[in-house]
């Protein structure tokens, strides 16, 4: 695989096996489970378990210094290139209330006009902002977009790998893999790394199309704008099409096509849903989304709800901030809204509040003065 | 806290599971189905660690279906339960043990209804009633609804979704006291 040739990971791993554990390679070869033959398409470097027992980076835990010193004492016998200069968190004495997994705010939801994905742009690294203008929503192909949360490098790499695999699938089978299939593929690719430090929490937002793509799109649009609650996709397209397809056939195809939203996490979770928010700012975003998102929103309303949710999350969460990106996925593909600075949004809101208070004050003063006028 | 319960009757098995898919402090889904259909009359209920549940349950599901395709007839619940336990045991002392707690419920023509309790340490027990509650690091008790299913000689039946309103009593009465 190109990745292994580039990084030479496999060579280092094999050497370690032969020097440290004598029985292991024999067992592996006997069982036929040597890492070369295991998965032809995807063989990756899988680290030893002992290395994983002591995590060198305990984010926010109190016994950070103890674990670090323990690891440095074990360094000499091990042949692994353990990182010596670890970025320790500045707040070592304060334990976090819950595991602060991903310092970001990303959200995505489905509505009648497709799928909307929004995210902030702050990349943080142990208490400082590493990049205020990073991109957390990465397009994978023309009709699939993924929001990323967790380790930026892991997310970017795995999105590229997913894009490659989806493109290969498209070339081999002359059709795009569905969003559900892409989610399952990503989940199974991440499974060997469960228990390691790999941290990827992505929502895949896509529009599945079929041969009936154009006709579905027309019916979806006309049906979507008139209905205010979630339509049964099987019913909108089926009977009105007629022609060469049986009603069952076309309704099945209609169910298979349309907007889709999946949440995939490196711990193995894979969920389908209508609304997801991921990251440290997600509780704040959820509060705005749970009250504002309905199936019948227009594109403008949905965009404003998404922007508001990200803005509120960045206002309170220290690990989210700077800008907001909004992507909209329809049957025609994804479109991207211009990146917006939330600092300006904050000042605009302050200005609005000031004007409101001023007008209220004026009205109050006008009322009291009119009452005092002689009748 | 994820919750499973199963009750075996004279000619049926009733199973219920909660509908929450949670991730630390956030409930990500309120309508998540934890039951996996192994065959026409066997259900596997699975709770435990995040990715392990779906991965293991789908593995068992596909293998049971493969058996049917190869041999032309379905595995009995006892055989399916023992197959599941064997897989759990094989992976237990490997580098990737599956941390899952299972209930397997099924109806067999010869043996009648059966409910099997399985642990992440690959214990197996046939029991008239059984339950699982997954002790997560953080105790989240917010179970607004349950999925309930019944297995009898005619197959798997979906029952009305139980919610924490006054409607809870109705489906239970219909099952246990048919004369009332």
pLDDT at A164: 95
> Taking 70 as the threshold, does the pLDDT of residue A336 lie above it?
yes
pLDDT at A375: 54
pLDDT at B145: 80
> Taking 70 as the threshold, does the pLDDT of residue A44 lie above it?
no
Which one of B50, B57, B91, B137 makes the best mutation probe of the A interface by having the most chain A beta carbons within 10 Å? Answer: B50
Which one of A110, A200, A268, A282 makes the best mutation probe of the B interface by having the most chain B beta carbons within 10 Å? Answer: A268
Q: What is the mean pLDDT of residues A35-54?
A: 48
pLDDT band (50, 70, 90) for residue A271: very high
CB contact under 8 A, A99 and B54: no
pLDDT at B88: 94
What parts of chain B have a pLDDT lower than 70? Answer: 1, 134-144, 161-180
pLDDT in tens, B136-155: 444 445 556 888 899 999 88
Nearest-CA distance A363 → chain B (Å): 44
- How large a percentage of chain A has pLDDT more than 90? 33
pLDDT at A139: 93
Nearest-CA distance B96 → chain A (Å): 9
> Taking 50 as the threshold, does the pLDDT of residue A219 lie above it?
no
Position with higher pLDDT, A295 vs A37: A295
Q: Which residues of A touch B96 (CB under 8 A)?
A: 194-195
CB contact under 8 A, B51 and A276: no
Mean pLDDT across chain A:
72
A104 is catalytic: yes
- How large a percentage of chain A has pLDDT more than 70? 59
Cα separation, A302 vs A281, whole angstroms: 19
Q: Which residues of A touch B32 (CB under 8 A)?
A: 271
pLDDT band (50, 70, 90) for residue A247: low
> Taking 50 as the threshold, does the pLDDT of residue A172 lie above it?
yes
Nearest-CA distance A224 → chain B (Å): 24
Cα separation, A116 vs A183, whole angstroms: 17
> Taking 60 as the threshold, does the pLDDT of residue A64 lie above it?
no
Minimum Cα–Cα distance from A107: chain B residue: B28
pLDDT in tens, A293-324: 999 999 999 999 999 999 999 999 888 888 99
Tell me which residue of A144, A178, A176, A332 sits closest to A256, measured CA to CA. Answer: A178
Cα separation, A351 vs A357, whole angstroms: 10
pLDDT at A26: 44
pLDDT at A62: 39
Q: Which residues of A touch B98 (CB under 8 A)?
A: none
pLDDT at A7: 53
Which one of A200, A270, A271 makes the best mutation probe of the B interface by having the most chain B beta carbons within 10 Å? Answer: A271
Position with higher pLDDT, A218 vs A143: A143
Nearest-CA distance A269 → chain B (Å): 5
**Residue B117 half-sphere exposure, CB side, CA atoms within 13 Å?**
14
Q: Which residues of B touch A194 (CB under 8 A)?
A: 51, 96
Nearest-CA distance A127 → chain B (Å): 22
pLDDT at B142: 54
pLDDT band (50, 70, 90) for residue A369: confident
Q: What is the mean pLDDT of residues A90-119?
A: 74
SS3 string, chain A, reads: CHHHHHHCHHHHHHHHHHHHCCHHHHHHHHHCCCHHHHCCCCCCCCCCHHHHHCCCCCCCCCCHHHHHHHHHHCCCCCCCCCCCCCCCCCCCCCCCCCCCCCCCCEEEEEECCEEEEEEECCEEECCEEEECCCCCEEEEECCEEEECCECHHHHHHHHHHHHHHHHHHHHHHCCCCCHHHHHHHHHHHHHHHCCCCCCEEEEEEEEECCCCHHHHHHHHHHHHHHCCCCCCHHHHHHHHHCCCCCHHHHHHHHHHCEEEEEEEECCCCEEECCEEEECCCHHHHHHHHHHHCCCCCCHHHHHHHHHHHHHHHHHHCCCCCCEEEEEEEECCEEEECCCEEHHHHHHHHHHHHHHHHHHHHHHHHHHHHHHHCCC
CB contact under 8 A, A273 and B29: yes
CB contact under 8 A, B54 and A270: yes
SS3 string, chain B, reads: CCEEEEEECCCEEEEEEECCEEECCEEEECCCCCEEEEECCEEEEEEECHHHHHHHHHHHHHHHHHHHHHHCCCCCHHHHHHHHHHHHHHHHCCCCCCCEEEEEEEEECCCEEEEEEECCCCCEEECCEEEEECCCCCCCCCCCEEEEEEEECCEEEECCCEECCHHHHHHHHHHHCCCC
> Torsion angle, CA of B91/B97/B98/B101, rounded to 10 degrees?
90
Cα separation, A28 vs A35, whole angstroms: 8
Nearest to A268 among B25, B26, B55 (CB): B55
Find the catalytic residue in A104, A121, A148, A236.
Answer: A104
User: Which of A135-139, A203-207, A225-229 has the lowest average pLDDT?
Assistant: A225-229
Tell me which residue of B120, B129, B34, B38 sits closest to B79, measured CA to CA. Answer: B38
Cα separation, A168 vs A210, whole angstroms: 18
Nearest to A268 among B25, B28, B50 (CB): B50
Cα separation, A202 vs A163, whole angstroms: 14
Position with higher pLDDT, A334 vs A38: A334
User: What pTM does this model have?
Assistant: 0.69
pLDDT at A160: 93
Tell me which residue of A192, A163, A259 sits closest to A49, measured CA to CA. Answer: A192
Minimum Cα–Cα distance from A52: chain B residue: B95
Q: What is the mean pLDDT of residues A336-361?
A: 86
User: Which of A146-160, A344-358, B86-100, B165-179 has the lowest average pLDDT?
Assistant: B165-179
pLDDT at A37: 42
Distance of CA A79 to the CA centre of its chain: 35
> Taking 70 as the threshold, does the pLDDT of residue A216 lie above it?
no
């Amino acid at each position: 695989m190109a990745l292994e040739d580039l990084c030479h990971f496999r060579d280092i791993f094999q050497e370690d096996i032969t020097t440290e554990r004598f029985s292991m390679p024999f067992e592996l070869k006997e069982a036929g489970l040597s890492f070369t033959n295991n998965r032809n398409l995807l063989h990756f470097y899988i680290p030893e378990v002992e290395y994983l027992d002591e995590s060198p980076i305990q984010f926010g835990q109190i016994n950070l210094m103890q674990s670090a010193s323990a690891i440095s004492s074990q360094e000499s016998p091990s042949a692994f290139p353990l990182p010596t200069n670890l970025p320790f968190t500045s707040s070592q004495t304060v334990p976090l209330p819950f595991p602060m997994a991903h310092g970001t705010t990303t959200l995505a939801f489905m509505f009648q006009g497709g799928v909307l994905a929004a995210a902030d742009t702050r990349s943080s690294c142990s208490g400082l902002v590493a990049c205020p203008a990073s991109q957390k929503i990465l397009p994978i192909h023309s009709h699939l977009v993924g929001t990323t949360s967790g380790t930026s490098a892991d997310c970017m790499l795995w999105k590229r790998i997913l894009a490659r695999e989806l493109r290969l699938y498209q070339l081999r089978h002359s059709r795009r893999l569905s969003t559900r299939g892409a989610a399952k593929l990503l989940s199974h690719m991440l499974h060997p790394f469960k228990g390691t430090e790999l941290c990827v929490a992505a929502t895949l937002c896509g529009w599945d199309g079929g041969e009936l793509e154009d006709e579905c799109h027309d019916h979806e649009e006309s049906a979507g704008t008139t209905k205010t609650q979630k339509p049964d996709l099987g019913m909108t397209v089926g009977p009105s099409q007629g022609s060469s397809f049986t009603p069952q056939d076309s309704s099945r195809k209609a169910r298979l096509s349309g907007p889709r939203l999946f949440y995939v996490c490196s711990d193995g979770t894979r969920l389908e849903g209508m609304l997801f928010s991921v990251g440290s700012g997600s509780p704040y975003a959820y509060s705005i989304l749970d009250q504002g998102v309905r199936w019948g929103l227009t594109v403008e309303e949905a965009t404003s709800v998404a922007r508001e949710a990200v803005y509120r999350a960045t206002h309170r969460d220290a690990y989210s901030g700077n800008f907001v990106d909004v992507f909209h996925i329809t049957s025609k593909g994804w479109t991207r809204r211009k990146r917006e600075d939330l600092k300006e949004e904050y000042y605009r809101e302050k200005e609005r509040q000031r004007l409101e208070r001023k007008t209220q004050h004026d009205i109050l003063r006008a009322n009291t003065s009119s009452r005092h006028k002689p009748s | 806290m994820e919750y499973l319960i199963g009750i075996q009757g004279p000619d049926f098995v009733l199973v219920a599971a909660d509908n929450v898919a949670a991730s630390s402090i956030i409930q990500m889904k309120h309508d998540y189905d934890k039951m996996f259909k192994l065959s026409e009359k066997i259900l596997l209920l699975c709770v435990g660690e995040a990715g392990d549940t779906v991965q293991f349950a789908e593995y068992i599901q596909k293998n049971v279906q493969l058996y049917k395709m190869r041999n032309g007839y379905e595995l009995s619940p006892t055989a399916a339960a023992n197959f599941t336990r064997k897989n759990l045991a094989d992976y237990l002392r490997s580098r990737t043990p599956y941390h899952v707690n299972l209930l397997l419920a099924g109806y067999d023509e010869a043996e009648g209804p059966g409910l099997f309790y399985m642990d992440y340490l690959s214990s197996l027990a046939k029991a008239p009633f059984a339950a699982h509650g997954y002790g997560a690091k953080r105790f989240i008790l917010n179970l607004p609804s349950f999925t309930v299913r019944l297995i009898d000689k005619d197959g798997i039946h979906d029952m009305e979704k139980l919610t924490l309103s006054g409607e809870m009593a109705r489906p239970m009465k219909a099952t246990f006291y048919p004369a009332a």
